[in-house]
Chains A and B, each alone.
Chain A
Amino acid sequence: QVQLQESGPGLVKPWETLSLTCTVSGDSISSGKSYWGWVRQPPGKGLEWAGSIFYTGSAYYNPSFKGRVTISVDTSKNQFSLKLSSVTAADTAFYYCARVSSSVPRDYFDYWGQGTLVSVSS
């Protein structure tokens, strides 16, 4: 059974960088069968895709984040990570990591982590 687990600080100060890691079990990121992505959801609102990455390090990002997003992968630890720079209160959200269902970056998400709430506040 594929499982994903987000980890990282639950509170980030304004204008600092949000950093989260997703640890994958039950599948190998380096198998090359899937892209791996991040999706966020402000409390009580809708879902927004942030970006996705392949085991090679090839990444695609949502242009609406205006270059603030960086996703990296560590195949030795079977993890991938999200960095979001210059955060503001608008970046307060539940952050989910998820598996893209194929080796094509634009596909649906078939497995999700439980999500982690990150609040931006001084």
Chain B
Amino acid sequence: DIQMTQSPSTLSASVGDRVTITCRASQHIGPWLAWYQQRPGKAPDLLIYKTSTLNAGVPSRFSGAASGSEFSLTISSLQPDDFATYFCQQYETYQTFGQGTKVEI
């Protein structure tokens, strides 16, 4: 099984802050990583796939990158709508999700 370790579990930030969430894979997954945003009571929304490709309609303040087995999601300037929980997902072997990062004020 490929495990995804996401950090931090909670992140406190303010509007306008630059925030970064990281996800580490227990095995090599190539570029096969996606990020989702989930607002309370809602289904996850796809933000980024293949490490750094933005899904259609996703604001450019979101970006994804990788360094070795560590992947990151960066929000360049946090907006009120961005306070939510974020999940990474590997899809190199089936699908496994990280534990989630709650971005709160």
Closest to B42 in A: A114
A108 to B93, CA, bound (A): 11
A49 to B34 Cα, complex, angstroms: 14
- Chain B residues numbered 82-105 whose CB sits less than 8 Å from any CB in chain A: 87, 89, 91-100
Which residues of chain A in 97-122 are interfacial with respect to chain B, using CB atoms and an 8 Å cutoff? Answer: 98, 101, 105-110, 112-115
Q: Does A89 contact B (CB under 8 A)?
A: no
Contact of A49 among B46, B55, B96 (CB under 8 A): B96
With a 10 A CB-CB cut-off, give which of B92, B95, B96, B98 has the most chain A CB atoms.
B95
Closest A-chain residue to B48, C-beta based?
A108
Contacts of A39 in B (CB 8 A): 95
Contact of A109 among B42, B46, B96 (CB under 8 A): B46
11 further interface pairs, Cβ-Cβ under 8 Å (given A109-B46, A112-B43, A114-B42): A37-B95, A39-B95, A49-B95, A64-B1, A101-B49, A105-B94, A107-B91, A108-B34, A108-B95, A109-B36, A109-B44
